[in-house]
C-alpha cells in the first residue's frame, strides 16, 4: 500500500504524531521494531508534565514544552488517561543554592509561567513535612500521569482513527524514489510520500539510512528505583534538588506516580549501548543516598523495583552546552522529517510536537479533515470493575481488566504488554501472586509462546513432564 | 448488604484450616473461612515433596496430603468456606470487604483470625543490578509452575538463597531434568534446615556456595548468565572474586515476608523483627478480637508446629466470642542479645507460656537465658543453635507484675 505518511517509532512522540495526523484523510502507517509501543524512553521516565521552568526561554524546547503541557488536561480527558496536578518543588538544601532558585524564578517568569513562587522553610515544611530543605521554588501547575499509558492510549486512538500500526517491524533501508520513499523492513517494504523519523535513540541512525549524516545521538542512561505504595503519603508534590550544571539531567528527584508509588531517579550516565537498560550497583546506591538527603524517612525495605531508560542526547559527554530539539523537514530531502534529540521535556512537549509536525506536513500535503475522527478512546473505568475476581492482589486488578489487556487493540502480546496496560504485576510482590494466574489466562486464550517482553524472551522451555520424557 | 458471622478466618492454608476447626470444636457455630485460591490448602498444594506431619501424624506426608487431612476436617465440621475470594479491606471494627466472581461483599464478625501466610521477597529486596530479562523467578513461583502447571521455567539454574524453598527447588529441578549449577548463600551458614541441606543438595551433588552472592544479571531477552562474587565478613563484595556463570534462569529464594497489608490498614501494630503482628500468648493482636496465626505472624520452618499453635489461636478466638472480651497485655517479651525475634511479644495472663524464638547466628554450647526484669527465670544449655531452627521453651509465670519485661538472651 502506498502511504501518505510513515512514522517510524512508536514512542510517545511518534504516536502523538500518528494520532494528530489521523484527524485528516491520510493513509498513515506507524512502524516500531519492538513488540509493543512505549518500549524506549517513553515508557522509562518520571511521568511528569513539566511547566517549562527547567528549560531556557525562547528555545524550541521551551516553546513546545509550554504549548504541549497546556494540552495535557484535554488530551488526557479524551484518551481516558489519569492525570493529576501535584506541583513541583525545587528544594535548596544549602544557602549556596538560594541564588539559583531566584534565578530559576526569573527564567520561569520570562517563559511566561505564572504560578511560580518561592517558599521559605516553614512554608516548605507545611507543604512537605518529611522533606529536608531550607527553601524551595514551587511550581504549582506541574502534573503527573502514566507515560506509557498515554503512549498506549495515543496509539490505540490513532488505530481507532484508521492509522495502520505494525509492530515487530524494523526499518533496514530507506530509498528515495521520484516523489516518495521506499522503506525496507524485516517485515515487508512500504512506500510513502512523507517519512517522520521519531526513532528516539535511533533517530540519527535512521536519518543516516536516508543519507542524512550530521546528527549524532549520545545515549545517556538514567536509572530509577520504585518505592512501595505504602510510602505514598511521604510526599505530596514532586521534589527536585537544585540542578547542577553539566549533570546531564534534572538531578535525582522524587516523583509521586499517578498510581501511588514514588520514583527515585533518574541518574545520568553516558553509555555506549543505545538499549543498555541495565541497572548498576553503584548508581542504585547513589539513588538511595541522594534520595535520603531529600527524604530521610525512606526505608530500603520499601524498594519494590528498579529500571533504567536512555535519553537521546545531542550534547556530547562532558559538555554542559544546552542543545535544543532538532525538528525539521530536511531541506535536501523534501518529505523526510527528522525529530532528533527529543529528550526531556519531550514527553510534556509531545502534543505540541505533533501539531508542529502536522504543520510541516501541511506544506506538502492537502490536509482534509477526517469526518470519522473520534478524539475519544474507549476505556473502561476502574471503579466499575472492582467487583469481580481479583487476579492481581497488590494492584487489585480484576480478571476482566486483565482480559481487556490481553486482548488489547494493538495486539501486543507479552507479560509486559499486559502489565503496562492493567498494572497486574507492578505491585510489591512483583508478580509473585498474579503471574501464574495470568499465564493460565494466556494459555486459555491462545497457543502462542508466552514471553516476558516479546520475541526471544520466552518464559518457559516446555512442559515439565514432556521434558523428562525426552531427556 | 452486610453479612454477619461470629468468626471470620482470612486465609485457608494450614494455619487458617487448623484455627477454624479448633474454633468449631470449641463451640463457635458460625464461622466463615475465606480463601483467595480456588481450593483450600494454601502453599502446601504446591509442596509435593514429603516430610510434612512427622510430629503430629508420626509419618512423612506430602504437602497436599497434609493439607487434605485438615480440609476434610473443615468439611466434616461444616464450616462455610468461600474460595476464589480475596479480602481487600479489613477495619479495626472487624468489618471486611471481599471480592469474588459474584461481586463485592461486606461482612462483619465478632472475631477475626488472620492467617494470610507470607509472600516471597523479590529481586528489589536484595538489590541485584543488571538487565531485566525473562528467566528470573522467585523459587515459590517456579515451584508453582513446575508442580501445579506443568511448565518448566528453564534448563540451567543458579539459585540465590539457601532457604528451605531454594533447597527443595534445587532437588525438584534436578529431578525434572534441569541442571542446577549451584546454590549461593551470602551468609557463612545455610538458611535452610540441616535435613534439607543433606536431602536436597548433598544427595544430588549440588554445590552450596556459602559467602557468595549474585552481583549482576546478564541477557537482554532471556537470562544468559549471572555474575557471582564472594562476600566479605562485613557483607561487601570481595574485589577480584567476581566471575560469570552461563545459565538461563536465576531462582531467588531470598526470604519470606509475612503478608500484613490488611493488618496494617486495620491499624494492627507490627513487630519490625518478625514482620508480623505484635501478639500476646493467645495470638491476639493489639485490636481485641483480632487474632493472628501461622506465617502471617512469623515464618515457621515446620508446619506441624504451625498447626498446633494455630489450633490454640482458634480456641482463644472461641473464648473471646463466648466472653465478649479478652485480657489486655501486661508484660512485654523482648529479643535480647543473640536473638533474632521472639513470639509472642506480649503476655496477658499468668501461667505456663511457650516462647518461640530464633538465634541470629549459629553457635555451640550456648546458654539460653530468660529473664523477668533482672531475675533469671530460665536457663538452658543448647549444644547447637542455628537460625533456621525455631527454638521453643516454656516458662512458668505464676504471677505478672505489670510493666515488667521478659527478655530472651543467648550467652
Adjacent-strand bridge partners of A90: A137, A240
| Nearest Cβ partner for B104 among A226, A387, A436 | A387
Q: What is the ipTM of this complex?
A: 0.95
Domain check: are B236 and B265 in the same one?
no
Domain check: are B280 and B238 in the same one?
no
pLDDT tens digit string along A178-222? Answer: 999 999 999 999 999 999 999 999 999 999 999 999 999 999 999
| Contacts for A69-78: CB closer than 8 Å, 24+ residues apart | A69/A141, A69/A143, A69/A348, A69/A349, A71/A351, A71/A352, A72/A143, A72/A145, A72/A348, A72/A351, A75/A150, A75/A351, A76/A145, A76/A150, A78/A157, A78/A375, A78/A376, A78/A377
Domain check: are A228 and A348 in the same one?
no
The answer, yes or no, to whether residue A468 has pLDDT greater than 70, is no
Average pLDDT over residues B100-117: 95
Q: B72 to chain A nearest CA, in Å?
A: 26
pLDDT at A53: 76
Domain check: are A291 and A438 in the same one?
no
Domain check: are A152 and A272 in the same one?
no
The CATH number of the domain where B126 resides is what?
Answer: 3.50.50.60
Domain boundary among B311, B326, B341: B326
A275 vs B contacts (CB less than 8 Å): 220
Q: B125, A301: Cβ pair inside 8 Å?
A: yes
How far is the C-alpha of A341 from the C-alpha of A328, rounded, in Å? 12
Domain check: are B102 and B126 in the same one?
no
How far is the C-alpha of A29 from the C-alpha of B145, rounded, in Å? 40
Domain check: are B27 and B101 in the same one?
yes
pLDDT at A54: 76
Q: A464, B150: Cβ pair inside 8 Å?
A: yes
| Nearest Cβ partner for B122 among A429, A460, A462 | A429
Domain check: are A136 and A229 in the same one?
yes
Q: Which chain B residue shows the shortest CA-CA distance from A425?
A: B122
Domain check: are A128 and A244 in the same one?
yes
What band does A51 get if pLDDT is binned at 50, 70 and 90? confident
Q: B88, A456: Cβ pair inside 8 Å?
A: no
B131 vs A contacts (CB less than 8 Å): 277-278
For residues B157 and B247, the answer to whether their CB atoms sit within 8 Å is yes
pLDDT at B54: 96
Q: Which chain A residue shows the shortest CA-CA distance from B121?
A: A429
Residue A50 is a catalytic residue? yes
pLDDT tens digit string along A288-324? Answer: 999 999 999 999 999 999 999 999 999 999 888 899 9
Domain check: are B197 and B232 in the same one?
yes
pLDDT at A1: 78
Phi-psi region of A65 (alpha: psi -120 to 50; beta: other; left: phi over 0): alpha
Q: B129, A430: Cβ pair inside 8 Å?
A: no
CA proximity to B350, closest of B285, B276, B280, B409:
B280
For residues A281 and A315, the answer to whether their CB atoms sit within 8 Å is no
Query: Which of these is catalytic: A50, A253, A453, A458?
Result: A50
Domain check: are A79 and A157 in the same one?
yes
| Nearest Cβ partner for A277 among B99, B132, B222 | B132
Q: A471 to chain B nearest CA, in Å?
A: 7
Adjacent-strand bridge partners of A138: A89, A117
DSSP state of B197: I
Domain check: are A175 and A51 in the same one?
yes
Q: A277, B100: Cβ pair inside 8 Å?
A: no
Q: B69 to chain A nearest CA, in Å?
A: 25
Domain check: are A69 and A129 in the same one?
no
Domain boundary among A379, A407, A424: A379
Domain boundary among A379, A405, A432: A379
pLDDT at A247: 63
Q: Which chain A residue shows the shortest CA-CA distance from B128?
A: A281
* Greatest distance between any 2 Cα atoms in chain B: 66
Domain check: are A1 and A133 in the same one?
no
Domain check: are B108 and B199 in the same one?
no
How many structural domains is chain A composed of?
3
Q: A388, B101: Cβ pair inside 8 Å?
A: yes
Q: Which domain holds residue A337?
A: 1-83+143-215+317-379
Domain check: are A436 and A354 in the same one?
no
pLDDT tens digit string along B69-93? Answer: 999 999 999 999 999 999 999 999 9
Domain check: are A289 and A341 in the same one?
no
How far is the C-alpha of B66 from the C-alpha of B45, rounded, in Å? 9
CB neighbour list of residue A326: distance below 8 Å, 6 or more residues apart: A215, A314, A338, A339, A340, A341
The CATH number of the domain where A102 resides is what?
Answer: 3.30.9.10
pLDDT at A381: 59
- Exposure string of B306-324, with b = 16+ CB inside 10 Å and e = fewer, is bbebbbbbbbbbbbbbeee
For residues A47 and A146, the answer to whether their CB atoms sit within 8 Å is yes
Q: Which domain holds residue B97?
A: 1-119+256-326
Domain check: are B163 and B94 in the same one?
no
Domain check: are B221 and B160 in the same one?
yes
> Among residues of chain A, what percentage have pLDDT more than 70?
96
How far is the C-alpha of A34 from the C-alpha of B58, rounded, in Å? 57
CA proximity to B171, closest of B197, B153, B137, B150:
B197
What band does A113 get if pLDDT is binned at 50, 70 and 90? confident
Q: B101, A451: Cβ pair inside 8 Å?
A: no
Amino acid at each position: 500500500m502506498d502511504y501518505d505518511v510513515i512514522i517510524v517509532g512508536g514512542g510517545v512522540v511518534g504516536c502523538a504524531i500518528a494520532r494528530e495526523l489521523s484527524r485528516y484523510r491520510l493513509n498513515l502507517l506507524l512502524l516500531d521494531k519492538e513488540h509493543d509501543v512505549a518500549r524506549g524512553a517513553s515508557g522509562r521516565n518520571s511521568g511528569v508534565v513539566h511547566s517549562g521552568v527547567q528549560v531556557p526561554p525562547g528555545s524550541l524546547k521551551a516553546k513546545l514544552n509550554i504549548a504541549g503541557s497546556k494540552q495535557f488536561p484535554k488530551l488526557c480527558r479524551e484518551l481516558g488517561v489519569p492525570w493529576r496536578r501535584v506541583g513541583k518543588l525545587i528544594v535548596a538544601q544549602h544557602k549556596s543554592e538560594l541564588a539559583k532558585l531566584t534565578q530559576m524564578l526569573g527564567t520561569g517568569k520570562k517563559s511566561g509561567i505564572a504560578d511560580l513562587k518561592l517558599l521559605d522553610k516553614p512554608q516548605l515544611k507545611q507543604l512537605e513535612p518529611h522533606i529536608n530543605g531550607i527553601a524551595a521554588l514551587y511550581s504549582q501547575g506541574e502534573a503527573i500521569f502514566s507515560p506509557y499509558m498515554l503512549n498506549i492510549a495515543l496509539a490505540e486512538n490513532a488505530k481507532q482513527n484508521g492509522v495502520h500500526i505494525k509492530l515487530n517491524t524494523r526499518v533496514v533501508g530507506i530509498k528515495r524514489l521520484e516523489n516518495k520513499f521506499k522503506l525496507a523492513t524485516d517485515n515487508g517494504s512500504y512506500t510513502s510520500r512523507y517519512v517522520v523519523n521519531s526513532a528516539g535513540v535511533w533517530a540519527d541512525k535512521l536519518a543516516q539510512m536516508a543519507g542524512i549524516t550530521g546528527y549524532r545521538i549520545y545515549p545517556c542512561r538514567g536509572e530509577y528505583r520504585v518505592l512501595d505504595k505504602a510510602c505514598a503519603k511521604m510526599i505530596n508534590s514532586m521534589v527536585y534538588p537544585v540542578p547542577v550544571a553539566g549533570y546531564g539531567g534534572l538531578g535525582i528527584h522524587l516523583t509521586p506516580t499517578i498510581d501511588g508509588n514514588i520514583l527515585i531517579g533518574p541518574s545520568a550516565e553516558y553509555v555506549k549501548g543505545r538499549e543498555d537498560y541495565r541497572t548498576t550497583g553503584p548508581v542504585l546506591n547513589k539513588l538511595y543516598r541522594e534520595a535520603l538527603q531529600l527524604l530521610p524517612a525512606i526505608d530500603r525495605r520499601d524498594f519494590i523495583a528498579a529500571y533504567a531508560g536512555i535519553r537521546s542526547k545531542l550534547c556530547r559527554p562532558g559538555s554542559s552546552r544546552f542543545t535544543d530539539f532538532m525538528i525539521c523537514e530536511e531541506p535536501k530531502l523534501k518529505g523526510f522529517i527528522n525529530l532528533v534529540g527529543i529528550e526531556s521535556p519531550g514527553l510534556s512537549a509531545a502534543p505540541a510536537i505533533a501539531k508542529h509536525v502536522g504543520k510541516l506536513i501541511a506544506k506538502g500535503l492537502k490536509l482534509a479533515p477526517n469526518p470519522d475522527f473520534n478524539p475519544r478512546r474507549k476505556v473502561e473505568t476502574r471503579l466499575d470493575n472492582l467487583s469481580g475476581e481479583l487476579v492481581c492482589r497488590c494492584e487489585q486488578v480484576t480478571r476482566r481488566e486483565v482480559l481487556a489487556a490481553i486482548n488489547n487493540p494493538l495486539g501486543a502480546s507479552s507479560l509486559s504488554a499486559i502489565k503496562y496496560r492493567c498494572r497486574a504485576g507492578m505491585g510489591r510482590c512483583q508478580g509473585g501472586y498474579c503471574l501464574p494466574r495470568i499465564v493460565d489466562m494466556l494459555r486459555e486464550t491462545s497457543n502462542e509462546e508466552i514471553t516476558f517482553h516479546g520475541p526471544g524472551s520466552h518464559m518457559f522451555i516446555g512442559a515439565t513432564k514432556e521434558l523428562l520424557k525426552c531427556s | 448488604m452486610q453479612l454477619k458471622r461470629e468468626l471470620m478466618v482470612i486465609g485457608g492454608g494450614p494455619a487458617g484450616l487448623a484455627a477454624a476447626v479448633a474454633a468449631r470444636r470449641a463451640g463457635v457455630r458460625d464461622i466463615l473461612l475465606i480463601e483467595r485460591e480456588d481450593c483450600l490448602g494454601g502453599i502446601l498444594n504446591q509442596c509435593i515433596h514429603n516430610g510434612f506431619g512427622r510430629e503430629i501424624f508420626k509419618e512423612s506426608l506430602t504437602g497436599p496430603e497434609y493439607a487434605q487431612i485438615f480440609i476434610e476436617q473443615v468439611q466434616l465440621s461444616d464450616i462455610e468456606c468461600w474460595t476464589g475470594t480475596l479480602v481487600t479491606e479489613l477495619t479495626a471494627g472487624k468489618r471486611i470487604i471481599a471480592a469474588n466472581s459474584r461481586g463485592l461483599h461486606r461482612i462483619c464478625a465478632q472475631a477475626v483470625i488472620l492467617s494470610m501466610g507470607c509472600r516471597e521477597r523479590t529481586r528489589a529486596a536484595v538489590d541485584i543490578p543488571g538487565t531485566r530479562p525473562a528467566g528470573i523467578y522467585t523459587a515459590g513461583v517456579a515451584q508453582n509452575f513446575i508442580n501445579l502447571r506443568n511448565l518448566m521455567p528453564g534448563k540451567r539454574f543458579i539459585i540465590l538463597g539457601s532457604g528451605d524453598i531454594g533447597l527443595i527447588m534445587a532437588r525438584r529441578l534436578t529431578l525434572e531434568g534441569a541442571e542446577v549449577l549451584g546454590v549461593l548463600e551470602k551468609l557463612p551458614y545455610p538458611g535452610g534446615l540441616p535435613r534439607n541441606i543433606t536431602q536436597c543438595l548433598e544427595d544430588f551433588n549440588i554445590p552450596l556456595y556459602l559467602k557468595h552472592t549474585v552481583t549482576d544479571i546478564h541477557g537482554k531477552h532471556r537470562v544468559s548468565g549471572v555474575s557471582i562474587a564472594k562476600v566479605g565478613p562485613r557483607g561487601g563484595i570481595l574485589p577480584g572474586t567476581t566471575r560469570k556463570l552461563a545459565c538461563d534462569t536465576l531462582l531467588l529464594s531470598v526470604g519470606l515476608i509475612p503478608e500484613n497489608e490488611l493488618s496494617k490498614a486495620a491499624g494492627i501494630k507490627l513487630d519490625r523483627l518478625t514482620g508480623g503482628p505484635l501478639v500476646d500468648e493467645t495470638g491476639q493482636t493489639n485490636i481485641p478480637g483480632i487474632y493472628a496465626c501461622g506465617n502471617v505472624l512469623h515464618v515457621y520452618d515446620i508446619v506441624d508446629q504451625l498447626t498446633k499453635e494455630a489450633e490454640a489461636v482458634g480456641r482463644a478466638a472461641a473464648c473471646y466470642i463466648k466472653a465478649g472480651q479478652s485480657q489486655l497485655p501486661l508484660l512485654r517479651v523482648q529479643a535480647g542479645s543473640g536473638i533474632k525475634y521472639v513470639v509472642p511479644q506480649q503476655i496477658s495472663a499468668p501461667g505456663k507460656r511457650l516462647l518461640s524464638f530464633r538465634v541470629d547466628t549459629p553457635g555451640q554450647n550456648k546458654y539460653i537465658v530468660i529473664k523477668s526484669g533482672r531475675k533469671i527465670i530460665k536457663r538452658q544449655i543448647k549444644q547447637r543453635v542455628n537460625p533456621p531452627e525455631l527454638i521453643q521453651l516454656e516458662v512458668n509465670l505464676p504471677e505478672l507484675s505489670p510493666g515488667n519485661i521478659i527478655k530472651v538472651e543467648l550467652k
